Amino acid sequence: MRKVIHKFEIEHLQVLDENGNVDKKEMPKLSNKQIKELYETMILVRAFDEKSLLMQRQGRIGSYLQVKGQEASQVGSVYALKDKDWIFPMYRSSGALIARKQPISVLYQYWGGDERGLISPKNVNNFPMAIPVGTQTAHASGAAWAEVIKGTKNVSMVFMGDGATSKSEFHTGLNFAGVYNAPCVFVCENNQFAISTPREKQTHAKTIAQKAIAYGIKGIQVDGNDIFAVYAAASEAVNNARKGNGPTLIECMTFRMADHSTSDDAKKYRKDSLVKSWEKKDPVLRLEKYMKKIGLLTDAYKKKVFDDAKKKVEAGVEKFEKTPAPKKDDIFTFMFKDMPLQLKNQYEAFKRGE
């Protein structure tokens, strides 16, 4: 005899549609001041993103991975956190880090190859960005559990791409969080590609959110270009985690509008028509349409937001470029209190100019 022992459904949440209309029933509680704050942060992230690409092309930073198209997924989710909560960013999380008060100049230090660019602002718990795909998922889960052991109410939020869901650490992280009821929110920015690998070749599952079910945790798919849906799902997940009601996997359906990195040419593997279809879903345009409808976006305000963002980015660039580079010796002296013998020998050779 065969019987169904479990049937499942995955919710997809959209609050703000492409024409700037909101579903009032699902609209999270946000004051006009907060909506403006979200908008201003998204514009700042985009201004940083555009400048970073230019900076890399001009040889002023080493490399960069653009956020463009994913601003709502990143800004909306961290908006649900307190400073003392942890974020575990990946290389594409510059937007989340900006929203988490990481100074622009420090971010440029990072992208310029200076390890001091990994330092979190005082009283804000930003973990360093992970370059290896997916490793941060397990770190976040463990750190969330550590906060439980310490008796705090701090939550961890971790960012990963669709590609990372094929990595073992994704499964380790979700499984551990499920078993230990760790207060961890997993935010998967499903931007449809892992470099040139399309989402359909990443997993045969219909959604990434449903992977939560296998680990006995909550899972939801949201329109990742809809800042209100992202914020609503993230708030619910963060509140649940904080109250001891377990972890959540949030799949943000979004799209990487730029190349994978400054060493990539996405035209080689993505059709223009696909990119164009996502342009219509742009998270910034969509929020602007809504704000205009409710009288929150005047031409003068918009101009000021763009001007302020540009000024902040330029001030960050100036501070970064005026900061003396770290001493070359730091490569040897930074990591260990007591330098291991092998490194000591290398350091001596370096000092002799070998």
In the complex, the residues that contact ligand TPP under the rule CB under 6 A are: 92, 131-133, 161-164, 191, 193-195, 256, 260
Q: Please pick, among 139, 256, 270, 286, the residue that the annotation labels catalytic.
A: 256
Q: Please pick, among 46, 92, 139, 260, the residue that the annotation labels catalytic.
A: 260
Taking alpha carbons only, the member of 72, 125, 120 closest to residue 95 is 72
For ligand TPP, the closer CB: 61 or 164: 164
Work out how close the CB of 89 gets to ligand TPP at its nearest, in angstroms, rounded to a whole number. Answer: 11
With CB atoms as reference, the residue minimizing the distance to ligand TPP is 161
Between CA 21 and CA 19 the distance in angstroms is 6
For ligand TPP, the closer CB: 112 or 163: 163
Task: Tell me the angle at which helices 32-57 and 227-242 cross, rounded to the nearest 10 degrees.
Answer: 110
Q: Which amino acid is at 183?
A: P
238, 258, 308, 295: CA torsion to nearest 10: -70
Work out how close the CB of 184 gets to ligand TPP at its nearest, in angstroms, rounded to a whole number. Answer: 18
For ligand TPP, the closer CB: 145 or 170: 170
According to DSSP, residue 215 is labeled T
Work out how close the CB of 189 gets to ligand TPP at its nearest, in angstroms, rounded to a whole number. Answer: 6
Between CA 19 and CA 227 the distance in angstroms is 14
Angle at 266 between CA 264 and CA 270, to 5 degrees: 160
92 is catalytic: no
Between CA 269 and CA 198 the distance in angstroms is 9
**DSSP states of 93-113 as a string?**
THHHHHHTT--HHHHHHHHTT
If DSSP codes are grouped into helix, strand and coil, which group holds residue 188?
strand
For ligand TPP, the closer CB: 39 or 193: 193
Work out how close the CB of 168 gets to ligand TPP at its nearest, in angstroms, rounded to a whole number. Answer: 10
Work out how close the CB of 64 gets to ligand TPP at its nearest, in angstroms, rounded to a whole number. Answer: 12
260 is catalytic: yes
171 is catalytic: no
For ligand TPP, the closer CB: 68 or 92: 92
For ligand TPP, the closer CB: 191 or 221: 191
- The 3 state secondary structure assigned to 258-312 is CCCCCCCCHHHCCCHHHHHHHHCCCHHHHHHHHHHHCCCCCHHHHHHHHHHHHHH
Work out how close the CB of 255 gets to ligand TPP at its nearest, in angstroms, rounded to a whole number. Answer: 10
- 242, 155 Cβ separation under 8 angstroms: yes
As annotated, the active-site residues are: 256, 260, 269
